[in-house]
Amino acid sequence: MAKYVAVDTGLWVVNGVGDTCIVQAHGGAVSCVSRRSFLKTGTALGVVKLGPPPQRKPQEFIVSGIVPDQITAVDLLVGDRVRRFAIHSNSYSLRARVPVIVKRFER
């Protein structure tokens, strides 16, 4: 079973027998977790946009995630600063010029 979620450039949420995956078809990225883990914390997908050859240096870092109903906010480490973001429609997304790391969820 698959469902499209309009977060960032769009994600597909795919539920398998024991796993849940989020797929970014535009960038060709996939993140899968066990169904049990998904129901606790959801799943996130990180993508890095690279610059032109030959250096291909990172230009933009993107993190998108889908979370269960009880999660209301997410703390993201953006560079060296932790920032809190509210959850909207069970999802979150952030683009930054520095690496982004999911730190914790608020219930």
- Whether residue 102 contacts residue 63, with contact meaning beta carbons closer than 8 Å, is answered with yes
Instruction: Give the model's pLDDT for residue 32.
Output: 95
pLDDT of residue 52: 94
Token code pair at residue 62 = 């993107």
Residue-level pLDDT at 7: 87
Question: What's the confidence (pLDDT) of residue 6?
Answer: 87
> Which position has the token pair 């969820």?
105
Q: List % helix, strand, coil for the chain (3-state, nearest 5).
A: 5, 60, 35
> Can you list the pairs that 4-7 forms with residues at least 24 positions away whose Cβ atoms lie under 8 Å?
5/66, 5/89, 5/91, 7/64, 7/66, 7/89, 7/91, 7/92, 7/93
Residues of the domain holding 99: 2-106
Average pLDDT per block of 10 residues along the chain, 107 residues long: 88 92 87 93 93 94 94 96 95 96 94
Distance CA 20, CA 35 (A): 6
Q: According to the model, what pLDDT value does residue 8 have?
A: 84
Number of domains in the chain: 1
Q: Residue 9's pLDDT is what? A: 83
**Can you give the pLDDT at residue 28?**
83
Residues in the chain: 107
